[in-house]
Amino acid sequence: MDRRTFIGAFAGGLVIARSVAEAQPAAKVYRIGFLNLGRSVNASPGLRMLNDELRVLGYVEGRNIVFEYRYADGRLDRLPDLAAEMVHLQVDVIVAITNLEVAAAKRATATTPIVMVTAVDPVGAGFIASLARPGANVTGVTYDAGREIQAKNLGLLKEIVPRLARVGVLRQPESGVDFAVLAAAARKLNVTLYAVDFGSLDELESAFVAMTNNRVGAIIILGGALAYLGRQQIADLALKHRLPAIHTLKEYAEAGLLLTNGPILLDLFRRAARYVAKILSGAKPADLPVEQPAKFELVINLKTAKSLGLTIPQTVLLRADEVIQ
């Protein structure tokens, strides 16, 4: 082949290659809705974990996925409109953090896939038919750590405060936590419960005053998204009223609560990302069994214990996964 023929063939090949490339459809960019009762936090560890795991699975923000972030800034009344906005935007999947977000998303759509991250009792809440067969457009991870986790946490308080006879229950009704299980455990431990409900962060101060006036010796917190948003305020109030307090999430102990025992939040976000990836790959939510937590941790804040004048028993310290000094 002479030089002129080679150049002509090469140029023709480039034209054909370019024509083929232009004829191929552009790679699809998926839209993921992220619905959260809280406030916008760009560096949220849970959101980072979701993004990191999606990247590992081949879905990179700005390349083949884009997020539609919607935050309610702690206002429950905003969730329905934000969920409806996501449906209008025709997102491919909605990531809904707690029962509150899942309920809003499910009311807004019966077809757009919804992935739960920390839902409590999703069957009882009416989100799914069963863990094994969700049956509709909702799947993901449940925060349920077994019905006995709250009983265990009440037992931990009793170990730390042996003479404990009255325990306050700071309760966010919409969280979906089964109070009956806790009440049964209290009877076995010969402990009386005094429950106070709150529906906004503005009610936390009066809730603590009510519990203190009823002479509770410790507090167990049954709260979801709203409580998590106010975890620093809750930890500060518990210290102010000199009340040992327990929740299930480590982030409360990091905020200054005495101790936490329950599922690892970041692991739940990591596993939720896998559901998102499966759905974007064509799986139907109805066919994806809902998973329960697999990793748990007991975290003790010794700085708070010292401030409260408490000595944590060695038997409890030896069981701790992390001790905050």
pLDDT at 172 over 90: no
Model confidence pLDDT, tens digit, residues 106-126: 999 999 999 999 998 899 899
Q: Residue 258's closest CA among 147, 167, 145, 133?
A: 167
What does the pLDDT read at residue 2? 52
Looking at the chain, which runs of residues are DSSP E strands?
Answer: 30-36, 65-71, 93-96, 114-119, 138-142, 166-171, 192-197, 218-222, 245-247, 259-263, 296-301, 322-324
Averaged pLDDT for residues 266-291: 97
On the question of pLDDT at 176 being above 70, the answer is: no
pLDDT of residue 173: 76
Judged by DSSP in three states, 88 sits in: helix
CA dist 36 and 48 (Å) reads 14
Helix, strand or coil for residue 102? helix
Tokens of 58: 């081949």
Residues 33-86 pLDDT 10s: 999 998 876 558 899 999 999 999 999 999 999 999 999 988 889 999 999 999
Mean pLDDT, range 180-203, rounded to an integer: 91
Q: How wide is the angle at C-alpha 275 spanned by C-alphas 269 and 279, nearest 5°?
A: 145
pLDDT attached to residue 16? 44
Going along the chain from its start, the domains and CATH numbers come out as 30-143+265-287 (3.40.50.2300), 149-263+296-324 (3.40.50.2300)
- Separation of first and last alpha carbons in the chain: 79
Largest CA distance in the chain: 99
